[in-house]
Amino acid sequence: MKRFKLEQSEQEIYTATSGLALAGACLDRYVNLDKELKKAQPLRHGISHADIARSYLGLLLQGKSDFEAIAQFRENRFFMEALGIAHVPSIARMRQRLDEGAESWLSVIECCTVDFLVNAEVPVTCLVTGHVALDMDVFPMDNSSTKKAGVSRTYKGHDGFAPIGAYLGEEGWCVGMEFREGKQHSQKGFISFLTRVLPQARRLSASHRLLVRLDSGHDALETRVALVNEDTDYILKWNPRTADMTPWLAMAEEEECWVETRPGKFVSRFSVIEEQSYEGQSYQFRRVMQVTERRIDRHGQGLLVPDVEVEGWWTSLDLVEEDVIALYKAHGTSEQFHSEFKTDLDLERLPSGKFATNALVMGMAAFAYNILRWIGLLGLMGKDGPVRHPAKRRRLKTVIQEMIYLAARLVRSGRRLRLRFGLNCPAFDAFERVYERFAPGKLLVG
């Protein structure tokens, strides 16, 4: 193999992140981030709030979360042109400004996140029942061996944070992200989060009813009452806590609905109606029950004492038990969305020592998450996209690899800018199509 001679040009401008042009076009077309930030926190002099926010979003869109990563883009002309930035801040300036604007900026970012989804008219795929799924769950973030504000013991047994996210539809659009201390219980403050998220989700679900899916950490009477009062359908995993399982086995025997799913394994499914009172008002709730009795383990070994497992799901749906359980199982997909925040966006360990700043970082991450998800759906799911295995959506890591990290040459001719891609660029057709949708006739791509 021949040895390459390495040279660095002094004139030509190349970029390995041409996909940032797509993200910048999204920001310009679908939200008015600059105006809203200026309104939330007036600024007399210095680098604009918009430049700070767009610069950090530019890092997140590449899967970078550390403030130090901005240093490599301070003299990068393409980074500035693609994201509409007049001045790229220094590391210290970015950290300082995010600290100062943490509280006032967060509400702006949250509004822009949902406004972007509404204005872009993103698709929201329904379930077979005609509902739009709204999955909410807490996910721990390991920040062990740090002294960041809010770091405490999570339910996973490590020190860190425990934010809660809300994801809409089969696509997993993030319509809510609340940053929390690690020790905070899932249910604490959940009702206020729920009432904030539901109106945002309804803006996107159009005429379809929502189906809220929650795990057992939110199994509380106040949660079910709140969902009933909001006129929202739900499936909520039952938390038996210290309940005795013996009566449920006896009830399953009375129902006589056992099904042998494999030799030695018997499953019974049935429903019960419970009446409960809350603040002087009576409510009736349906709970789907599944009792599993194993007399032979999966290896074929007979058991002296049968193993009994009892599970339950509160629900407002009038469906057979099997369908309710199947709908809840799809709630597990939200675990993938959590992992995309932590790994694909590099947010497992957060960049700041201040709680409010990290809350803003997570809010901006939700914005970047939705932008990348939209670029992935448009650019990677069509026939002209890079060859990949069939899928309903692509992970953010795949979007970053295939659409953001594209090498191109920035060519300035008169007052025009051109992005010149390589002859064999596999994503060129998809890139051109998506950019034309975001910014028709604005930037020449060739």
The pLDDT tens digits along the chain (446 residues) read: 778 777 766 666 678 999 999 999 999 999 999 999 999 888 878 899 999 999 999 999 999 999 999 999 998 999 999 999 999 999 999 999 999 999 999 999 999 999 999 999 999 999 999 999 999 999 999 999 999 999 999 999 999 999 999 999 999 999 999 999 999 999 999 999 999 999 999 999 988 999 999 999 999 999 999 999 999 999 999 998 877 777 888 888 887 788 888 999 999 999 999 999 999 999 999 999 999 989 998 888 998 888 888 999 999 999 999 999 999 999 998 899 999 999 999 999 999 999 999 999 999 999 999 999 999 999 998 787 776 777 778 899 999 999 999 999 888 877 788 888 888 888 899 999 999 999 876 554 44
Q: Is residue 112 part of a domain?
A: no
The residue segments making up the domain with residue 418 are 13-106+354-445
Average pLDDT, the chain: 91
What pLDDT, on the 0 to 100 scale, is given for residue 441? 62
What pLDDT, on the 0 to 100 scale, is given for residue 12? 62
Longest CA–CA span in the chain (Å) reads: 85
Instruction: Examine the domain organization and report whether 18 and 98 are in the same domain.
Output: yes
Q: Which residue from 87, 71, 171, 158 is spatially nearest to 121, judged by alpha carbons?
A: 171
The residue from 255, 284, 313 where one domain ends is 313
pTM of the model: 0.93
Sheet holding 141-142, edge to edge: 141-142, 159-161, 152-153
Instruction: Examine the domain organization and report whether 374 and 441 are in the same domain.
Output: yes
What pLDDT, on the 0 to 100 scale, is given for residue 434? 92
Q: What is the pLDDT of residues 45-69, one digit of tens each?
A: 889 999 999 999 999 999 999 999 9
Count of structural domains within the chain: 2
State residue 148 phi and psi, 5-degree precision.
-70, 145
The residue from 313, 343, 366 where one domain ends is 313
What is the per-residue burial (b if ≥16 Cβ within 10 Å, else e) of 11-20? eeeebebbbb
Helices (H) and strands (E) in the chain, counts: 14, 16
Instruction: Examine the domain organization and report whether 440 and 361 are in the same domain.
Output: yes
Rounded distance between C-alpha atoms, residue 233 and residue 208, angstroms = 11
Q: Is residue 154 part of a domain?
A: no
Task: Say which residues have a Cβ less than 8 Å from residue 221's Cβ, sequence separation at least 6.
Answer: 276, 278
Instruction: Examine the domain organization and report whether 17 and 98 are in the same domain.
Output: yes
Instruction: Examine the domain organization and report whether 305 and 358 are in the same domain.
Output: no
Instruction: Examine the domain organization and report whether 309 and 358 are in the same domain.
Output: no
Instruction: Examine the domain organization and report whether 288 and 359 are in the same domain.
Output: no
The residue from 264, 295, 313 where one domain ends is 313
Q: Is residue 327 part of a domain?
A: no
